[in-house]
């Protein structure tokens, strides 16, 4: 089957695309991906060995602003670029993951009367997928309670190296990879694909307290210049990276992760049973707090509001947590039962059914 997968703009939309593409490619399908010229997909998709076609992004404004005025022209340009890709690749089925290229893909699929599958990553659906769900019956959600027309709960597809982390990487290997000490308690810090200023500056300010407690840190900062350390805070190691390509090894290395609660990050850390402290992004439509709720409710993670995430809180709450193996173990057990590790296979099956029905 020829499958076109549309998802890009943030890693948040690219990660489930890659996980699904791997399963479809294994089943013998031909894959082409649709992305934007300015997102992380430009490197991530070719790295994974898939063909990538670029079309202009169509950001959907949440409230009236300059983007709204430009919307009709943006949409027209992007839909016609997408139709050209369709005419060259001739897909049997189109799959969209929300985000900036999904709306053109949804409209182009309707224009060519192609079967369409919509996958929603977040607990609270975005505007693009609400539109997409009006155009098809094949709609998948990542969380069981997400309210979206025709939605079926598949779970959020996660990459194989992460879903089966134990098979692919050990803690020792993860720590070696990043130049970390093999025996120190280890915190992974990530603000999601673009980093998070509040998390960066708070962790940098707490670095010396963490070092005094013998804790080492691996920090994916998005913008590393926001992590200013004084020299004493670098022993034990405080390793700062812009973007971690081998996030699987970072998960393997860590005892605890401190992070935003983008849908993929939440799902991945729960799948690997990594205890978490979530600091939800306070803007957007509130989806990040909702993404975190199931794992937090099960006891697998703590949730702290952005404004309350201060160096003093890190010193009091995180230091005691990461140096308490029994508490970490309980959280790990609670987190690992929560998510579906076979979401990519479930979504791939939905794609095949939609494609067959369209023949
Ligand atoms: C600001 C914004 O629009 N955020 C949204 C975006 O976030 P964002 O893209 O940051 O969110 P996610 O947590 O969903 O995904 C991040 C992905 O990047 C990967 N990763 C991240 C850092 C790193 O160094 N290496 C790495 O590989 C993670 O493994 C994960 O797969 O998409 C999410 C899913 O639609 C939404 O929930 C977020 O609200």
Ligand 1 lined by 265 (C-beta under 6 Å): yes
Average pLDDT, integer, range 94-112: 95
> Could you give the domains of the chain?
2-158+341-357 (3.40.50.2000), 165-336 (3.40.50.2000)
Sheet holding 216-220, edge to edge: 238-241, 216-220, 186-190, 256-259, 276-278, 301-303
pLDDT band at residue 240, thresholds of 50, 70 and 90? very high
Sheet holding 116-120, edge to edge: 51-54, 30-35, 2-8, 93-99, 116-120, 138-141, 151-153
Cα 112 to chain centroid distance, Å, stands at: 30
Ligand 1 lined by 247 (C-beta under 6 Å): yes
Per the prediction, the chain carries an average pLDDT of 94
Binding residues for UDP-N-acetyl-alpha-D-glucosamine: 10-12, 122, 159, 193, 244, 288
Average pLDDT, integer, range 295-313: 97
357/193: higher pLDDT? 357
Ligand 1 lined by 158 (C-beta under 6 Å): no
Q: Give the list of residues 6+ apart from residue 62 with CB closer than 8 angstroms, or none.
A: 127, 285
Q: Count Cα atoms within 13 angstroms, Cβ side, for 225.
A: 0
Note the ipTM here: 0.94
With the most atoms of ligand 1 within 8 angstroms of its CB, the residue from 16, 193, 218, 220 to mutate is 193
Average pLDDT, integer, range 56-69: 78
Cis peptide before 61 (omega within 30 of 0): no
């Amino acid at each position: 089957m020829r499958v076109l997968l549309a998802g890009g703009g943030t890693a948040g939309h690219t990660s489930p695309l890659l996980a699904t593409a791997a399963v479809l490619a294994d089943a013998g399908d031909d894959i082409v991906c649709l992305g934007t010229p300015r997102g992380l997909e430009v490197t991530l998709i070719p790295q994974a060995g898939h063909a990538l076609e670029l079309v202009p992004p169509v950001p959907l404004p949440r409230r009236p602003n300059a983007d709204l005025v430009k919307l009709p022209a943006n949409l027209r340009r992007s839909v016609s670029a997408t139709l050209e890709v369709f005419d060259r690749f001739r897909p049997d089925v189109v799959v969209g993951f929300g985000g900036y290229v999904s709306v053109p893909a949804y409209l182009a699929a309707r224009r060519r009367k192609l079967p369409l599958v919509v996958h929603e990553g977040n607990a609270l659906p975005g505007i693009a997928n609400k539109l997409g769900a009006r155009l098809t019956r094949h709609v998948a959600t990542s969380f069981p309670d997400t309210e979206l027309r025709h939605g079926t709960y598949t779970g959020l597809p996660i990459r194989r190296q992460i879903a089966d982390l134990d098979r692919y990487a050990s803690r020792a290997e993860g720590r070696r990879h990043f130049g970390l000490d093999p025996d120190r308690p280890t915190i992974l810090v990530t603000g999601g694909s673009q980093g998070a200023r509040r998390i960066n500056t708070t962790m940098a300010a707490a670095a010396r307290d963490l070092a005094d407690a013998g804790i080492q840190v691996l920090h994916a900062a998005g913008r590393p210049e926001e992590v200013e350390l004084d020299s004493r805070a670098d022993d034990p190691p405080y390793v700062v990276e812009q973007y971690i390509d081998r996030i699987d090894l970072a998960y393997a290395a860590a005892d605890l992760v401190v992070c935003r609660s983008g849908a993929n990050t939440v799902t991945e850390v729960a799948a690997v049973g990594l205890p978490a402290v979530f600091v939800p992004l306070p803007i957007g439509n509130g989806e990040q707090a909702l993404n975190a709720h199931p794992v937090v409710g099960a006891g697998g993670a703590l949730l702290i509001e952005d404004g309350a995430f201060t160096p003093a809180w890190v010193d009091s709450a995180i230091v005691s947590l990461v140096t308490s193996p029994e508490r970490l173990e309980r959280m790990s057990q609670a987190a690992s039962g929560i998510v579906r590790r076979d979401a990519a296979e479930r979504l791939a099956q939905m794609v095949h059914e939609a494609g067959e029905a369209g023949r």
